[in-house]
Amino acid sequence: MRMRLIPDNTNINFFKYAGVTFGGSLVMLAASVVVYLMFGLNYGIDFRGGTTIRTESTQMVDVSAYRSTLDALELGDVSITEVYDPGFRDDQNVASVRIQAQDGAESVTAETIDTIRIALQQVAPDIEFTSVESVGPTVSGELIRSAILAVLGALTAIIIYVWLRFEWQFAVGGIVALVHDIGLTIGLFSLLQIRFDLAIIAALLTIVGYSINDTVVVFDRVRENLRKYKVMPLVDVLNISANETLSRTMMTSGTTLLALLALLALGGDVIRGFVFAITWGIVVGTYSSVYIAKNVVLMLGVKRDWSKKNPATGGRYADAEDN
C-alpha cells in the first residue's frame, strides 16, 4: 500500500483565478523593479571591492568572536570564513577575513589593517596576518559584468533547449517563468537589503536550473496529453497535465525545502544568504511552473495537426518521445 501525497483523482482548476495568480505575479514583478530602482542591492565585497586578510594562529578559529570584535570597529561589510586544508599542521588554524573598501578607497589603509590586527589579538594573542590582498573597483566591475553575462547566458541556453525540445510557445512560457523567479528574488533582496555577492549569483543560477526542470516536467506531460486527447481544449489539457504532475512537484519541492530549512536554521551566517535565496527561489519557482508558464502557453496557443487519417496515431506530437 503506497502513501499518496496527492490523490490520483485530483482535479484542481489552476486557471480558475488566472486573473489573480497571473495578474498578481505581474504586479509583484513590477513592484520588484520599482524597489530595485529605489533601493538598489546591498552589494557584498565581491562587487564593491575591499580587502581580504588571511590570518593564522595556534588557537582554534572562533568565527563569532572574530565577528563581534570587528563589528565594534564599524568597518561595514565583514565576511569571516575558517579555512581548512589537509596539509595544515595540527596547530595551524587559518581564517579569511574580508572587509569592504572604506569610503570608496581602492583598499583598506595600513592604519586600518593595524587596528584590525590589534583587535583580533584580543581574541587570539598570537594571530598573524600571512597575506593581505585588495579587490579594487575595476575588478568588482568586471565581476558584476561577468555575473550578469552568466545569468543571461543560462537563460539563453534554456530558451534554445525548450524551443528545440518543444515549441516556441513553450520556450516563451518557460522564459517568462524564469524572469518572474529571478525578478522576485532580486526584488526581495533589494527590499530586505540582504548582502548580494557571488554566492547569491550561484543561488540565482541554481534557481534557474531548478525552476526550468520543474517547468519542463509539466511541459512534457502537456505534450503527451496533446497526443492523447486530440480534441480536448488546450486549457483542459494544461489543467490535466498540471494535476498529473502535482504529486511529483510537491514531493520534490517539499523534500528540497526540508533540507534548505535545516541549513537556514543551523547553517550559520556564512551561507545564510545563499540558502535563503535558494529557499525563496524554490517557492516562487514551483509557483511559476504551475501558474505562470502554463498561462503564457494558453495565451499563445498551440497548434495541433489533425491531417492524419488514423486518429490513433496522434497529431504533431505523436512521435515526440521517439525523437
**pLDDT score for 137:** 58
> 513592484: which residue's cell?
31
- 104 pLDDT band, cuts 50/70/90, is low
The yes-or-no answer to whether 18-41+140-322 and 50-135 have a common fold is: no
Which grid cell is 275? Answer: 540558502
- CA 149/CA 269 separation, integer angstroms: 28
- Chain centre distance of CA 242: 23
Average pLDDT over residues 77-105: 78
Q: How much is the pLDDT for 6?
A: 64
Is 50-135 a domain of CATH 3.30.70.3220?
yes
Average pLDDT of 204-218? 83
pLDDT at 321: 41
- pLDDT the model gives residue 220: 85
Nearest to 239 by CA among 284, 294, 181: 294
Decide: 214 and 289 in contact? Cβ < 8 Å: yes
CATH topology of domain 18-41+140-322: Multidrug efflux transporter AcrB transmembrane fold (1.20.1640)
Residue 38 has pLDDT above 80, yes or no: yes
Whole-number pLDDT of residue 27: 92
| pLDDT on residue 28 | 92
pTM of the model: 0.72
pLDDT score, position 269: 66
137-193 pLDDT tens trace: 555 667 777 878 887 887 788 778 777 877 788 888 888 888 898 899 999 999 988
Where would I find the H helices in the chain? 18-39, 45-48, 63-71, 110-121, 137-165, 168-192, 198-228, 234-244, 246-266, 269-291, 293-300
Extents of the domains making up the chain: 18-41+140-322, 50-135
